[in-house]
């Protein structure tokens, strides 16, 4: 199983969970509630999950609020990705 490195990034006054996929970096907004940005990020993760079995690993977990939120977010994403791949296998979408 491949590992995808992740970290918390800040741009101006916004925070993101940055997932460093082999071909791109997917940023999930943590301080902005724009559903289109979240949907776009999740679609990229689904596409990646179709091609490769992976889990996300947070590089550094600090004591700040956004690091703690990112840590929980990564735990939940890993559970969802595992379940998603199982469903994809069940329906013959991946081998």
* pLDDT digits 0-9 by tens, 36-54: 999 999 999 999 999 999 9
What is the token pair recorded at 59? 């590089």
Whose CA is closest to 70, among 24, 35, 18, 23? 18
The residue among 34 and 77 whose pLDDT is bigger is 77
In this prediction, residues 58-64 reach a mean pLDDT of 89
Virtual torsion, Cα 78, 9, 52, 80, nearest 10 deg: 20
- The pTM of this model reads 0.89
83 sits in which H/E element: helix 65-90
């Amino acid at each position: 199983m491949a590992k995808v490195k992740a970290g918390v990034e800040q741009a101006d006054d916004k925070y993101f969970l940055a997932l460093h996929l082999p071909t791109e970096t997917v940023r999930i907004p943590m301080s902005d509630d724009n559903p289109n940005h979240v949907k776009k990020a999740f679609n990229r993760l689904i596409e990646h999950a179709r091609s490769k079995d992976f889990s996300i690993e947070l590089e550094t977990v600090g004591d700040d609020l956004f690091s703690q939120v990112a840590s929980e977010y990564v735990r939940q994403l890993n559970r969802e990705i595992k379940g998603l791949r199982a469903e994809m296998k069940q329906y013959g979408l991946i081998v």
